[in-house]
Amino acid sequence: MTKTVVQPLDSYRLAEYAKSFDCYVCEGANAVDADMCRHCMAPMALSHQATSQHVRPHLIAVIGSPNAGKTVYLGMLTDMLSRRHYDLQLLGRGAFSIRLQQNTISALARGEFPDRTSEQPDHWDWVHCQVHQSRRPPTEMIIPDISGECMIEEIEHPNSFPSIQSFLRKCSGLLLLVDSSRLEEGELDQDFLPMKIVSYLSELEPKRRKGWGNRPVGIVYTKADQSSVLYANPVSYAATHTPGLVRICSQRFKRVEYFATSVAGRCGIYGSENSPYPVPLRVEPNGIVEPFRWLVKRLSR
């Protein structure tokens, strides 16, 4: 004998699924209760938070070559602006926006650098925050930690990662990180790869009045603690060590500036001779806030 069970049908929920909810980053259609965008893997919480605001958030790109220090820079930046007293104050929106800060500071406290960003977009960290300035209304920002390997793949083979291209088209500004320690060792890739990135960006929307040619671009030379002259004059350092990058930036961008930054005051080398990796001997952040402050002021204008 088969028992019958009365199961109420939540037919009212069909009306919710009949209307899609667009991702704020790539504008792809998703279900209203989706956790991540099925197109670009961005948290859908970004879209829900953005639609609740009267001012649309700025998308900010922090990109560069693998191991240039993007993750540790972003983690240290968010930590300094959210827990210390500066003219800029950063407030994270959503628990996921604090994950990058927590992982970075926890790793540095253990005497390690944070793990490299995964090549899987669904594992990237996204920071949605409010930036408060004195005598100015707060600025909403969304900043992802994009994998350097994925960025290279998209540049070499466009549309390999359509989510990256969609994101960069909508960005309001850029911090392009260059590894100064590898420049000191004579690696020319640290000049060629940023040149490729600049060329890629300038070709996305070359004829738009608000294209990349008119957006603020900061060139940030990381690991400046390993150079004896970088802090003294970043512009002169850039012209000497990355002349190709300086030339193409002057031709393609109207608002560009050069900065030097470092997180570790001194690093050591650990591991075998075949697979060495750096470890921070002490944490002394220097020049972390200046590039971001410059970018925020340009956005306000």
Q: Which residue has the higher pLDDT, 270 or 225?
A: 225
Same domain, yes or no, for 41 and 147?
no
Query: Quick one: 34 and 158 in the same domain?
Result: no
Q: Is 5 exposed, middle or buried (0-12, 13-18, 19+ CB in 10 A)?
A: exposed
Length of the chain: 301
The verdict on 138 and 254 lying in the same domain is: yes
23 and 116 assigned to the same domain: no
**What are the tens digits of pLDDT across the range 179-215?**
998 888 888 888 899 999 999 998 887 666 778 889 9
Note whether residue 262 is domain-resident.
yes
pLDDT, tens digit, 9 for 90 and up, residues 78-108: 999 998 777 889 998 888 889 999 999 999 9
Q: How many domains does the chain have?
A: 2
Residue 9 within any structural domain of the chain: no
Q: Are residues 42 and 134 in the same domain?
A: no
Task: Tell whether 34 and 67 lie within a shared domain.
Answer: no
The span from the CA of 168 to the CA of 151, in Å, is 11
Question: What distance in Å separates the CA atoms of residue 99 and residue 121, rounded to the nearest whole number?
Answer: 15
Is the pLDDT at 159 greater than 70? The verdict is yes
Domain that holds residue 33: 19-52
Q: What's the CATH number where 239 sits?
A: 3.40.50.300
The residue with greater pLDDT, 26 or 59, is 59
Query: Cβ(75)–Cβ(105) under 8 Å?
Result: yes
Co-location of 89 and 207 in the same domain: yes
Same domain, 23 and 75: no
Task: Give strand pairing partners of 204.
Answer: none
The answer to whether residue 149 scores a pLDDT higher than 90 is: yes
Lowest average pLDDT, out of 172-186, 228-242, 260-274, goes to 260-274
In a shared domain, residues 92 and 114: yes
Can you tell me the mean pLDDT for 47-76?
Answer: 87
Predicted confidence (pLDDT) at residue 65 exceeds the cutoff of 80: yes
Segment 61-78 mean pLDDT: 93
pLDDT in the model for residue 71: 95
Instruction: Let me know if residue 6 belongs to a domain.
Output: no
Residue 57 and residue 40 share a domain: no
**Is residue 12 assigned to a domain?**
no
Q: Are strands 171-179 and 58-64 parallel, antiparallel or unpaired?
A: parallel
Confidence grade of residue 48 (pLDDT, cut at 50, 70, 90):
confident
Same domain, 161 and 104: yes
Contact between residue 219 and residue 178 where contact means Cβ atoms under 8 Å apart = yes
| Residue 10, in any domain of the structure | no
Give dist(CA 32, CA 51) in Å, integer: 13
When the pLDDT of each residue in the chain is averaged and rounded to a whole number, the result is: 86
Reference 94, options 117, 136, 126, 60; nearest CA is 126
* 161 plus 32 within the same structural domain: no
